[in-house]
Amino acid sequence: MKLYSAPLKASLLVGLILAVRELCPFWPTMAFMEDVLFFLAGLIAGIRLPDLDLVIPGLSHRSAITHSCIPALVVWACGFSAIAAGLALGIAFHLSSDLQPKAWTGGALIKFPLLGSIGMLSPIWLIANVIGCLAIFMEVVSGEPVDARLMIMALCLMGAGWYFFQEEKRPLLPLMTLGFAVLLVHAVRGGTLSVKQVWQYFV
């Protein structure tokens, strides 16, 4: 049920935003909220999106197509940057949690269509795509106004708190992975490996 409810909620939120945009005469004065809400919709969908391979014909569980930054890249390429940023962050949350299976065998391994499992390269694939997702997220967020960035940051913290402490029972490794990936992406973008510098990047 969770597989369907998250994308459905995200779709309803996007539809509501588009309806309000057309019908509310005061929307132009609150336009900065639009990207924040689109980001939230993407985040809601992204947290569950990788496991849609369970219901997509032709894909094995832990498919390389859904367990990657590819969905966020496609949405970004279509021009929906705020949704892509949320989607990327949600996928990054999910992939970081997938780094701690009981054993790296069977359903825990990343699988490519036609090629099959990539075996013990699976953790590397997951980490690389966590970094890719966060690169998309940070690239989009850097172009948002300060007020929008602050609200997105608040949504990030609430989303991470809910996901890692309510849905996942072992949050330490995923959070360490996300922290490392954020610092790495920030450094590549010209910053320094400093938590303070990353915080200033958002605010």
Distance of alpha carbon 112 from alpha carbon 40, whole angstroms = 29
Spell out the residues 6+ positions from residue 154 whose beta carbon is closer than 8 angstroms to its own: none
pLDDT tens column, 15-63: 998 898 888 887 777 777 899 999 999 999 999 999 999 989 889 999 9
Longest dimension (CA), the chain: 56
Enumerate the domain spans of the chain.
Answer: 2-202
CA distance 62 to 180: 23
- Close Cβ partners of 54 (under 8 Å, ≥ 6 residues apart): 3, 61
Beta pairing class for 111-112 and 116-117: antiparallel
Tokens 């608040």 belong to 154
33-46 tens-digit pLDDT: 899 999 999 999 99
